[in-house]
């Protein structure tokens, strides 16, 4: 009987389990793997891989490696698989793409001995550094994408070095992402707390109306709300018109494509995520505690600090956590109303996924964002009161 | 193993899109473009024109030029697009990656295209370009060269450029006095790249950036920007709607959009035939009746009636312009994108 009940229970949760595995665990693992996978050289140049692996890395590789790469590049060109290989190596070192394509194109005219023929075609084939680069990329895994995502780079000797100042983007990008998310979270809590309190104390009829005012924007698409802010904040938009009509400013203020616009739009989009959990926590607080504190002679600020605030902390923590996690992954809002130095990590993940089709970089940035956010939240749980129970209250 | 990995990777990156599109099955020929007024008019003149002429059902769809979905389609083997419009660097890259079929030049007549109008995997559809423009109502005598655009004393106000190193770095070098013929030679060297970024530094506080092609006209109209470099098609369209933006052909940078057939398409053969039909001068001239098109077809482009009727036709002005070097951007794009991002954040 018991086992049949168990089977029944398992059947009930099976769809959920399959959904979680298929839509969360598998993509997550694939993304983590994509961040460190290095399949291009091995897949496209299998014989070259074998030949350079047999070589000890000193001087130049044997004739077999030259013969293999000449033949395999020609094949890759014909079979339309040279693109991924050449882009992958070009990402490692500029100019590799042109060299590989040139070699593939010339391969019809090449003849043994291939070592001399390739070096005659382009002197770079006689450079041991280049061959060591190929050899290094015959390994199944690479740290390149993760290092690049932290503005680090691999030297030809295989040691880690700082990226040049002209290429350094990503550390500042992660810092900016967490900075914006932090301030959005703080603003949401500061603005959302009194709203939630007011909602929880209003008579039922008014509370319903006020709640609708919170929920209707919440149910509206993020894109629509962000576009609305774009229209409001533009140079000849209503906000500037109002400021000028009230003689607060003489000339229109540039608000669109600034950090200010990003904060305004993100706080507006995310505010309900802090109001709703706070409201549900505040509704559950029995007013008798506050009355008891008052009867013992505690003044209003003390009643709030000692009684009410600690009791609402789980709501603050739940709301803040949700807002922070959502902010970290924000894409549409900064992309539409922010300038180039207001973009967050997601913008670059989308950029590498869609525009340059460098899924290794996209996956590396995503993985690092996941890890950093996880660490921050874990630390916050340890040091912020009420955070531990946040997950339960969600 | 590798195929399996690629397959799961593709699913991870575009799972939702593909789940929605369902399993591969016999279906109508699907042609995909960038949307907008071009596609609205091409739907009648080209797509339905072909459909009627050959009695083949044709459907069309819109994408925004992002190739990730097409890569995911090809790698998962569930190809729902047959013929697709692509920009030149994406075409070259996709061809090397096996995302597009090689053009069958026995079906598509290669000699009917303008110079640069054919590629291994693509047949030229239309020319596109960007030029400098401004609102003469607000600026009676605006800058008409890129060198003058850098003169912030004579021409105060915000300058709106494309949020991409592509076109922006070329413009910086042109403004710095590099002859058009040497732009890519200079830009290929680290010293030339530094020169371009240094030039941009001179007016960095006055620069704004657009991401979507609709923005230049919008932001000039709203007054957020005073001068902009935007797609000529959009400028012509705005002028048809009553604006009076000048078309400064001396500041033209241009390229070609191509038709390509997606690799593994169940309708690949039919797709090639359709590409042949929609790149012919007759349907293109029909399209020109309703839409200011700049065809990559020699005969259509040379038609005198077309260039009189269509003031925005690029093919009459290419002698003044700079052809955006596809091969340069395929080879250096990713590196320069990163340097551009780093420069913007500085």
Residues in B touching A30 (Cβ below 8 Å): 5, 8-9, 11-12
Which of A166, A335, A358 faces B342 most closely, judged by CB atoms?
A: A166
CB-CB contact of A155 with A235 (8 Å): no
Query: What is the least distance, in Å, from the CA of B13 to any CA of chain A?
Result: 8
* Cα–Cα distance, B333 to A352 (Å, whole number): 12
What whole-number distance in Å separates Cα of residue B260 and Cα of residue B268?
A: 10
Q: What pLDDT is attached to residue A388?
A: 55
Contacts of A340 in chain B (CB under 8 A): 163, 209, 341, 344-345
pLDDT at A389 over 90: no
Q: Mean pLDDT throughout B46-66? A: 94
Compare B269 and B5 and report the one with higher pLDDT: B269
Decide if A357 and B71 are in contact by the 8 Å CB cutoff.
yes
pLDDT digits (tens, 9 = 90+) for A191-203: 999 999 999 999 9
**Chain A interface mutation, best of B12, B135, B166, B327, highest count of A Cβ atoms under 10 Å:** B12
Q: Do B223 and A357 touch (CB under 8 A)?
A: no
Please tell me which residue of chain B has the smallest CA distance to A30.
B9
At residue A71, does pLDDT exceed 80?
yes
Chain A nearest-CA distance from B25, in A, is 24
pLDDT the model gives residue B1: 41
pLDDT tens digits along A260-291: 999 999 999 999 999 999 999 999 999 899 99
Higher per-residue confidence, B83 vs B241: B83
User: B47 vs B301, which has greater pLDDT?
Assistant: B47
Predicted local confidence at residue A228, as pLDDT: 94
Cα end-to-end distance, chain B, whole Å: 43
Say whether pLDDT at B12 is over 60.
Answer: no
- Please tell me the distance in Å from B287's CA to the nearest CA on chain A: 30
- Taking only the tens place, the pLDDT of each residue in B129-152 is 999 999 999 999 999 999 999 999
In degrees and rounded to multiples of 5, residue B154 shows phi and psi of -70, -35
Averaged pLDDT, A105-127: 90
Shortest CA gap A382–chain B (Å): 33
| Residue range A128-168, pLDDT digits in tens | 999 999 999 999 999 999 999 999 988 777 789 998 888 88
Q: Strand runs (DSSP E) across chain A, as ranges?
A: 152-154, 160-162
pLDDT of residue B15: 42
B124 touches chain A (CB under 8 A): no
Percentage of chain A modeled with pLDDT above 90: 75
Q: Could you tell me where the DSSP H helices lie in B157-311? A: 165-175, 183-187, 190-202, 215-222, 232-240, 268-278, 281-290, 298-302, 304-309
Q: Is B223 on the interface with A (CB under 8 A)?
A: yes
The pLDDT of residue A110 is above 70: yes
Average of pLDDT values for A107-119? Answer: 89
Whether chain A has a CB inside 8 Å of the CB on B8: the answer is: yes
pLDDT of residue B201: 97
Between chains, do B224 and A234 touch, taking CB under 8 Å as contact? yes
Secondary structure class of A256 (helix, strand, coil): coil
Please, what is the average pLDDT of chain A?
91
Residues of A in contact with B162 (CB under 8 A): none
| Closest-CA residue of chain B to A97 | B331
Interface test with B, best of A340, A342, A351, A361 (most B CBs within 10 A): A340
Chain B residues 279-338 with a CB less than 8 Å from chain A = 330-335, 337-338
Q: Name the residue among B5, B98, B338 with its Cβ closest to that of A167.
A: B338
Average pLDDT over residues A107-126: 91
Q: Which chain A residues are Cβ-neighbours of B330 within 8 angstroms?
A: 97
Q: What is the pLDDT of residues B174-187, one digit of tens each?
A: 999 999 999 999 99
**Could you read off the pLDDT of B201-223 as tens digits, one per residue?**
999 999 999 988 889 999 999 88
- Residues in chain A with CB shorter than 8 Å from the CB of B331 are 90, 97-98
Spatial CA neighbour of A178 closest among A383, A377, A386, A381? A377
pLDDT one-digit tens code per residue, B188-205: 999 999 999 999 999 999
Distance from CA of B159 to the nearest CA of A (A): 13
Q: Give me the residue label for tokens 């109508």.
A: B28
Percent of chain A with pLDDT over 70: 97
B273 touches chain A (CB under 8 A): no
- Angle (nearest 5°) at CA B40 between B282 and B262: 75
∠ CA B332-B326-A353, rounded to 5°? 60
pLDDT, position A386: 61
Residue numbers in B near A23 (CB within 8 A): 15
Confidence (pLDDT) at B21: 44
Region B5-28 average pLDDT = 50
Residue B2 has its nearest CB partner, among A26, A39, A357, at A39
Q: Does the pLDDT of residue B292 top 60, yes or no?
A: yes
| CB proximity B341 to A under 8 Å | yes
Task: Report the DSSP beta bridge partners of residue B260.
Answer: B84
Q: What is the pTM of this model?
A: 0.85
Confidence at residue A254, expressed as pLDDT on a 0 to 100 scale:
87
Nearest-by-CA chain A residue for B210: A339
Residue B16 has pLDDT above 60, yes or no: no
Task: Calculate ∠ Cα A310-A315-A316, nearest 5°.
Answer: 75
pLDDT given for residue A387 in this prediction: 63
Q: What is the pLDDT of residue B106?
A: 96
Contact B345 A81 (CB under 8 A): no
Whole-number percent of chain B with pLDDT over 70: 92
Alpha-helical segments (H) within A107-153: 114-121, 128-136, 144-148
State in Å, rounded, how far the first CA of chain A is from the last one: 35
Cα B22 from Cα B32, distance rounded (Å): 18
Distance from the Cα of B189 to chain A's closest Cα (Å) equals: 12
Q: With bands split at pLDDT 50, 70 and 90, how would you rate the model's confidence at A385?
A: low
Per-residue model confidence (pLDDT) at position B20: 40
Residue A329's alpha-carbon distances to A373, A387, B206, B264, B327, in angstroms, are: 10, 21, 30, 35, 34
> Residue B308 has what pLDDT?
79
pLDDT at B276 over 90: yes
Per-residue pLDDT tens over the stretch A325-371:
999 999 999 999 999 889 999 999 999 998 888 999 999 999 999 99
Average pLDDT, chain B: 89
Q: How far, in Å, are A53, A268, B84, B234 from residue B128 at the CA level?
A: 48, 39, 16, 10
Structure tokens at B297: 């077809």
Q: CA distances (Å), A342 to each of A144, A262, A364, B12, B324, in order?
A: 26, 7, 21, 28, 29
Per-residue pLDDT for B4 more than 50? Answer: no
Note the pLDDT of residue A157.
73
Which helix (H) or strand (E) element contains residue B209? strand B207-210
Between the CA of residue A281 and those of A197, A211, A332, what are the distances in Å?
10, 15, 31
Mutate which: A169, A261, A367, A370, vs B, most B CBs within 10 A: A169
φ, ψ at A39 (rounded to 5°): -85, -15
- Nearest Cβ partner of B334 from A256, A353, A356? A356
| B14 pLDDT more than 80 | no
The C-alpha torsion from B7 through B12 and B13 to B14, rounded to 10°, is 80
> If residue B86 lies in a helix (H) or strand (E), which one and from where to where?
strand B83-87
Nearest to B98 among A39, A80, A237 (CB): A80
């Amino acid at each position: 009987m018991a086992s049949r009940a168990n089977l029944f229970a398992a059947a009930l949760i099976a769809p959920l389990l399959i959904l979680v595995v298929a839509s969360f665990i598998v993509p997550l693992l694939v993304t983590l793997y994509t961040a460190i996978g290095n399949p291009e050289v091995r897949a496209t140049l299998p014989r070259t891989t074998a030949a350079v692996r047999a070589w000890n890395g000193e001087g130049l590789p044997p004739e077999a490696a030259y013969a293999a790469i000449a033949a395999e590049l020609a094949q890759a060109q014909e079979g339309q698989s040279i693109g991924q290989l050449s882009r992958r190596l070009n990402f490692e070192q500029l100019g590799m793409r042109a060299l590989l394509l040139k070699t593939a194109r010339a391969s019809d005219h090449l003849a043994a001995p291939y070592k001399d023929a390739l070096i005659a075609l382009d002197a770079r084939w006689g450079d041991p550094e280049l061959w060591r680069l190929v050899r290094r990329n015959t390994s199944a895994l690479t740290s390149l994408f993760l290092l690049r995502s932290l503005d680090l780079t691999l030297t030809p000797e295989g040691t880690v070095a700082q990226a040049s100042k002209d290429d350094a983007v990503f550390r500042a990008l992660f810092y900016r992402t967490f900075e914006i998310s932090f301030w959005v979270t703080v603003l949401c809590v500061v603005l959302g707390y009194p709203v939630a309190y007011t909602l929880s104390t209003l008579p039922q009829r008014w509370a319903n109306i006020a709640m609708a005012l919170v929920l209707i924007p919440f149910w509206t698409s993020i894109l629509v709300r962000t576009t609305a802010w774009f229209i409001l904040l533009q140079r000849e938009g209503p906000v500037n018109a109002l400021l000028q009509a009230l003689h607060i400013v003489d000339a229109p203020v540039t608000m669109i494509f600034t950090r200010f616009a990003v904060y305004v739009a993100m706080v507006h989009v995310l505010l309900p995520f802090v109001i709703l959990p706070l409201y549900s926590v505040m509704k559950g607080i029995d007013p008798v505690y506050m009355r008891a504190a008052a009867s013992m002679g505690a003044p209003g600020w003390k009643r709030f600090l000692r009684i009410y605030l600690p009791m609402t902390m789980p709501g603050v923590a739940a709301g803040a956590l949700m807002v922070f996690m959502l902010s970290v992954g924000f894409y549409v809002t900064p992309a539409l109303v922010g300038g180039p130095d207001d973009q967050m990590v997601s913008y670059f993940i989308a950029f590498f996924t869609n525009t340059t089709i460098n899924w290794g970089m996209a996956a590396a940035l995503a993985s690092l964002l996941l890890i950093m956010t996880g660490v921050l939240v874990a630390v916050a749980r340890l040091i912020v009161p009420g955070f531990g129970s946040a997950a339960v209250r969600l | 193993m590798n195929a399996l990995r690629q397959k799961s990777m593709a699913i991870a990156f575009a799972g939702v899109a593909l789940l929605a599109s369902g399993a591969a099955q016999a279906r109508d020929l699907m042609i995909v473009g960038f949307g907008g007024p071009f596609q609205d008019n091409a739907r009648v003149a080209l797509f339905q024109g072909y459909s009627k002429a050959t009695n083949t059902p044709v459907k069309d769809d819109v994408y925004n030029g992002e190739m990730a979905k097409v890569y995911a389609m090809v790698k998962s083997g569930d190809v729902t697009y047959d013929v697709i419009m692509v920009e030149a660097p994406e075409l070259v890259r996709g061809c090397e990656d096996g995302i597009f079929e090689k053009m069958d030049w026995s079906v598509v007549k290669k000699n009917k295209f303008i110079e640069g109008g054919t590629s291994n995997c693509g047949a030229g559809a239309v020319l596109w370009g960007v030029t400098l423009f401004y609102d003469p109502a607000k600026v009676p005598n605006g800058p008409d060269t890129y060198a003058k655009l850098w003169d912030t004393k004579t021409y105060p106000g915000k300058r709106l450029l494309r949020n991409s190193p592509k076109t922006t770095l070329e413009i910086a070098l042109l403004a710095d006095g590099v002859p058009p013929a040497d732009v890519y030679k200079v830009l290929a060297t680290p010293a030339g790249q530094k020169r371009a970024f240094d030039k941009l530094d001179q007016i960095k506080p006055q620069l704004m950036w657009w991401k979507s092609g609709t923005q230049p006209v919008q932001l000039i109209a709203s007054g957020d920007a005073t001068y902009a470099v935007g797609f000529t098609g959009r400028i012509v369209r705005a002028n048809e709607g009553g604006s009076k933006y000048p078309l400064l052909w001396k500041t033209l940078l241009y390229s070609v959009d191509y038709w390509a057939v997606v690799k593994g398409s169940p309708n690949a053969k039919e797709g090639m035939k359709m590409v042949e039909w929609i790149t012919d001068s007759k349907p293109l001239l029909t399209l020109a009746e309703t839409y200011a098109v700049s065809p990559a077809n020699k005969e259509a482009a040379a038609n005198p009636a077309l260039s009189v009727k269509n003031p925005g036709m690029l093919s009459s002005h290419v002698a003044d312009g700079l052809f955006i070097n596809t091969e340069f951007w395929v080879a250096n794009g990713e590196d320069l994108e990163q340097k551009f991002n780093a420069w913007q954040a500085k």
